[in-house]
Every structure is written in structure tokens, then in C-alpha cells.
Structure 1
Amino acid sequence: MTTAPARHRTENPSLAGRFRPLEPLFKGMLLASLALAVLFLVVLLSYVVTEGWDRLDPRLWENFPSKLYPERAGAQSAIVGTIYVIALTGAFCVPIGVMTAIYLEEYADGSRWWNRMIELNIQNLAGVPSIVYGILGLGVIARGLDLGRTLLTASLTLSLLVLPVVIIAAREAIRAVPGSIRQASLALGATPWQTIARQVLPAAVPGIATGVILALSRAIGEAAPLLLLGAVTHITFNPSGITDSYTVLPIQIFNWTKQPEAEFHTLASAAIVILLFILLAMNSVAIWVRNRYQKRW
């Protein structure tokens, strides 16, 4: 009687069925960390909404700030200023960041020392504290270029702040596009730029959009650079041009929290809710763009 030959195993027999005692522990630590982070987030949101619920009414976005009458004070100028600053920041940093990512991924020769230096500097600039960018904007943009402490200066400074994040996210999105897409386009007679514009970039849109929203989400909450760049706290008008004075929600919230009256603290909590709403709206747009243009390879 002959026995059937043993089935050939492709996996490493020394690893098959091995008990890893640290794996459940590591997984449990990850879940515990996630639960702790979500718990702190829920507690924070609950506290802010509860504290500012009494002032979440049209007065908050219809009225201008007031130093003497907290019951009539609002944050219209800060809300409009925040929207202007973020819109200009995106208009400046997104085209430059995406074009830089295209050059580094599709055209740059990695063996050249200047390309390696550019990549190293981009990675290092992503970790520079925001106050350093505020000093740079004050010294170079506001005073060196004589633009003053205006809306344009703030937008350019925040663009420098988030530009490395946009470049890194765009590079990762472009790199994730399969090389076979490029090869097929070139084989059909398309030029390298036509391949990038019609094949690579549309496929990389979801990743680029996600990175852009993450970068702008960082910019919208920055207060330290804008303190140096003239984001004064008491503005009773909306900016009408890029050379006007301005204020933003983080600065207005910071100013209200310094006031001794409890009514101003309630206003600060309500303004935090408005800021979180703008952030959620931006993230919702990013999720919609990602789901709309995402492709499965």
C-alpha cells in the first residue's frame, strides 16, 4: 500500500503555527490608545458644545466683536478673515506644492546632489515650529518685501508653513499610481507631459486632495505666526482686499479666553464650535473628492 506524497508547503515551516505572545498585547495596546484618544475627543467636544451652547445663535456670526458688551459681541470679522486667509493660502500653496511634487517624482534625477538636497530640506521644513515661520514672514515678507501686516502677508506665511506637507502628500499620491499606467500611455504615443496631465494627476487626485485638506486644517488653527503678522484681536469690519487688516478665529478665541468675564468664555467656546464646523466642512469636501475620484488598481 502506497501513501500519497505529502503536499508541498510554500510557507516557512518554522513560522507556521508559531505562537506570538506579544502580538495580542500589542493589538490590545493599539485598541486602548485608540479608545483613549476617542474618549478625550468626545469629552473635549462635549465640554465645548455645552459651554458655548447659549451663544450658538445668529448673533455669533452676524455681529462684530465688542469689548464692552459680550451679550452683543460676535465673531463675523474673525470668521470672514479665517475664510479669506485659508482660501488665499490654498491658492498659493496648492499649485506650487503639486508642481514641485511632479518635478521631484517625474522629472528629477535622484542621483543629482541638488535634487537630494531639495528632498532633504522639504522633509526638514515639515517639522519646523510655526513660530519660526512667523518670524520669517515678519522679517522677509512684511518688512523685506514691504507688504506690511496684511491679509496677503498672513496667507503667504501660512503657505510656506504648510507647503512641505502638501509636497510630501502629493508625492506619495503620485508615487502610488502604477507604473504600468505611464508605460501604456507612452506606448500609445503620448508625451510625458500628456501622460502626467491626463493619466497620473487624475489618478492621484484623491491622495492630493486629502493631503491638501490636512495641510489647510493645520493652517486654520495656527495662532502663533499670525500674532506676529498683525492679526489684531479687535476688528469691527470685514476685509475687502488682500492689503487690509484682519483677524482670525484662533486669535479671537485667544483674546476672549483672556477676559475675566464669564460671558466672554462662553463666546470663546461658541467660536471653537464654529472653527470645528469649518474644519469638518473642509474634511467632508476631501472625503467627497476622494470617494468621487478614487480608483482601484
Structure 2
Amino acid sequence: MIIWIVSYLLLGVMTGFLAGLFGIGGGAVMVPVLTVMFVAQGFAPEYVVHLALGTSMAAIVPTSIASMRAHHSHGAVLWPAVRGLAPGIVVGTFAATFVAAWLSPQPLAIFFCLFMTYVAAQMVLNRKPDPARELPGPAGLATVGGGIGGVSALVAIGGGTMTVPFLVWCNVRLQTAIGTSAAVGLPIALAGSMGYVLNGWGLASLPTYTLGFVYWPAVAAMAVASFLTAPLGAGLAHRLPVATLKKLFAALVILLALQMLRTVITN
């Protein structure tokens, strides 16, 4: 058990730093790695992806708080956008957890892999927005929030892989888009965690120390580590250009998604 706790701590260190740096919740890293770790620990194969999704969502809560506070201290959170996106995000995230609970691990893994490949491609292309484009009104933001929340719940991400590109597409400064995305990640994580707890409630074949589809030893270890490292990543985001780092992260995302797909399909 000790070696797994250490592994969760190391995963939390990495995901916390990346969450602060890119304004993501860290699920892009946590979900594929947790899937591999849960398979290695002998968890029920029909639930390993669901457990990885739910555990990742719960771990994103403290990560988002730490990242949000750090970006807010730099004045890089666009709170009107957060308030506009939040209602749709909560509804979309919670509803999508029920869809995820009905799916078997293979479709979830394939969807995760395809979606993260698309995200990586968008990072690399780095297309410039129309200079006249602005953020939509409350109804538009709520609709966008619902889409972000729904996809986020299916792949257990904090939404940053969609929120940041959307805000930049609306001509929000990159650092502000990252900080705003970190704040948006909190309602996604809270609604998603609740949904995965409810959808896994009472299943007999889940491992000890789980509540629904949330495995708490992993959450606790990752939360402690990520809470410490998220501010470091956030600070770096305001000091360095991120174009090259985005390309490297895109490559990492694709590799992790493919590894998750291979693990689920061959087990």
C-alpha cells in the first residue's frame, strides 16, 4: 500500500504543477495514469475507468482551489465569465456523470483518447481569433458552460482544455484565460465528484475505501501534493511564454491517452 501512496503523491505533484501552468484540472494526466494503476492493483476491470474518472474529479477540487487562488493573486481571473459559465457547467457536468456510469470502460477510453487527441491538435495549431470577437452574453456563456461541463464529466477534466481555447478564441489574454479556467474547474469538479459518488453508490465489487466511484486514498495523496505544486505552475504561467510548453504538453496528452486505451482494451 505504501508504494501506491507514494505513486499517488508523485502523480499529484505533476498534475498540480500542470494544472497551475495550463489552467487545467489535471484529469488529462490523472485519468490514464490512474487507470493503469488501478488495473495493476487488481481492481474490478469493469470499473477501473469509472474509478479513474471519479477519483480524478474529486482530486481536482483542491487542485482547482489552489490554482484559482494563485491566479487570482495575479489579477488573472475574469470573474464575470466564471459567473456566466458556472450554471451551465454544473448542470452539464452532473448530468453527464449518469451517461458515463452507463458506459463500459472501452467506449469511455476511446472517447477520452479521441477527445484528448483533438485537444492536443488545437494546442499545436494555435490559431489566432478574429480581433473583433468578444465573449457572448449570459445565455451564450451558460450554453457554452453546459457543453464544457458535459465533456468534462465524460473525461474527468477540469475543463481547461476547452475553457482556455474558448476564452482565447474570444480574445481573452492567454494568462487571464488560464486563470479563469482554473476558477471554472472548481464547479466542474464539485458537480462531477457528486455525480460519480451517486452513480457508484452501493456497488459490491468496488475496492475498500471507495465512496461510489471515488477511491479516497488516491484522492487524499494527490490532493496534498497538488495543493502545494499548483501555485508553482501558476506563477510560472505568468513569467514564461507557453507556446513551446503547450506543444510538449500536447504530445504528453496523446501518449497518456493511448496508454490508457491500450490498458483498457488489453485487460
Higher relative contact order (CA 8 A, sep 6+): 2
Task: Tell me, yes or no, whether TM beats 0.5.
Answer: no
TM-score for both structures, normalised by structure 2:
0.32
